[in-house]
Amino acid sequence: DNPIRVGDVPAPDFIWSSICNNDSTKFRDNSDPGQISTITEYTWDFGDGDIVTGPAGTSVPFGEHDGRTTGSYNAPNHKYEEFGTYNSRITVRTNDGCENSIVKRVFILPYSTVKPVAEDAYAESFEDSDGGWIAEAFDARNSLPGDIQLSDTSWIWGIPNGTLINSGANGSSRAWWTGKNNGSYYPHENSVVNGPCFDLSELKRPMISLDYISDTETVDGTVLQYSVDGGLNWHVIGGEAAASGD
């Protein structure tokens, strides 16, 4: 008898960082090929019309997509020309001829340089547009190891119509607010709204000011965070005391 080899169906996955339209977004393969198979080929569809396919362990050709795509097929870098949200897909193929793919929602944020002069400050009223800000959801707060619950995001831009919050702050009409769940947020919600990227290197003492209205239960709340590594790690402004509400 001749044995028949049955390969594993790979479990595709990827992570990404560098989320500004001034950056080359870094994609990294995190797929599981299974117990007996190995990944031999990748296809990356970045969601903006640019697609690359090539063997594992090799480099993307020089000048691909007019130089916007570099790196290797395991870990390509891709520079988006416009900020916004893209459905990016990875497809992996194994030495046993099995393939699988997954799509993730990749967002790219606006980028600007803030200088210590009034005309180069950043100001956004949200009256005319959402400002390029993008909502994002994570695992729900009631998730447990082995029992992950996906959170939705209630962040929406527009005119608030909640029971108590029915306008923007400080006399404005429109705002980003957590009202997608019938004028409120979701139980166990764990979500954010991501603001633009800034180059603050010309500022000696960066400062931020914002208007907000809060209507939450005592166990809920919001913090302001920042990242300096393209969104891989986030830090609470004000430190742990601010995060805990102290």
Give residue 9's pLDDT: 94
Q: Which residue in 135, 119, 221, 123 sits closest to 172, CA to CA?
A: 123
- Residues facing 53 on adjacent strands: 43
What is the C-alpha separation between 110 and 99, in angstroms, rounded?
Answer: 35
pLDDT grade for 241, boundaries at 50, 70 and 90: low
Residues 6+ apart with CB under 8 A from 235: 225, 226, 227
- The mean pLDDT of the chain is 91
More confident residue, 150 or 131: 131
Q: Which of 22-31, 47-56, 234-243 has the lowest mean pLDDT?
A: 234-243
Q: In this model, does residue 242 exceed pLDDT 70?
A: no
- Residues facing 66 on adjacent strands: none
What is the C-alpha separation between 103 and 17, in angstroms, rounded?
Answer: 16
Name the percent of the chain lying above pLDDT 90.
65
Highest average pLDDT, of 33-47, 177-191, 222-236, comes from 33-47
Give residue 245's pLDDT: 54
Q: Average pLDDT for residues 183-197, to the nearest whole number?
A: 92
- Residues facing 194 on adjacent strands: 134
Q: Which of 4-13, 49-58, 72-81, 87-96 has the lowest mean pLDDT?
A: 4-13
pLDDT grade for 240, boundaries at 50, 70 and 90: low
Burial of 64 (0-12, 13-18, 19+ CB in 10 A): middle
pLDDT grade for 198, boundaries at 50, 70 and 90: very high
Q: In this model, does residue 62 exceed pLDDT 90?
A: yes
What is the C-alpha separation between 166 and 42, in angstroms, rounded?
Answer: 49
User: pTM of the entire structure?
Assistant: 0.81
